[in-house]
């Protein structure tokens, strides 16, 4: 069984250079405890800081998404009464 296109290689697809160079700015606020944890991680190693920041951003996104869904549910239920 032959493939129609022999130029296709297995593995990851190439991403356009423009796609890789996009930057997005994110602002979030840390509590004093979170700031202290981040500072300690920064003193230890960079990878830990990256994972901490990603986790914090994801928690914020999920929390806001859940809050938006809850508010839409509340609006729908009140409009039915």
Question: What's the burial of 41, exposed, middle or buried (CB within 10 Å: 0-12/13-18/19+)?
Answer: middle
Q: Which residue intervals of 1-81 are DSSP H helices?
A: 17-20, 32-44, 46-80
- What pLDDT tens digit does each residue of the chain (81 aa) get? 455 556 666 777 777 777 667 777 777 788 899 888 878 877 777 667 778 788 878 887 787 777 665 544 444 444 333
* 25-36 b/e (C-beta count within 10 Å ≥ 16 → b): eeeeeeeeeeee
What is the pLDDT at residue 77?
40
Return the SS3 of 22: coil
| pTM of the entire predicted model | 0.35
pLDDT of residue 76: 42
């Amino acid at each position: 069984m032959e493939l129609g296109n022999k130029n296709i290689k297995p593995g990851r697809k190439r991403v356009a250079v423009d796609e890789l160079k996009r930057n997005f700015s994110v602002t979030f606020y840390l509590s004093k405890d979170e700031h202290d944890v981040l500072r300690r991680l920064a003193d230890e190693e960079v990878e830990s800081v990256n994972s901490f920041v990603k986790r914090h951003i994801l928690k914020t996104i999920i929390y806001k998404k859940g809050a938006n869904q809850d508010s839409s549910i509340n609006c729908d239920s009140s409009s039915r009464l």
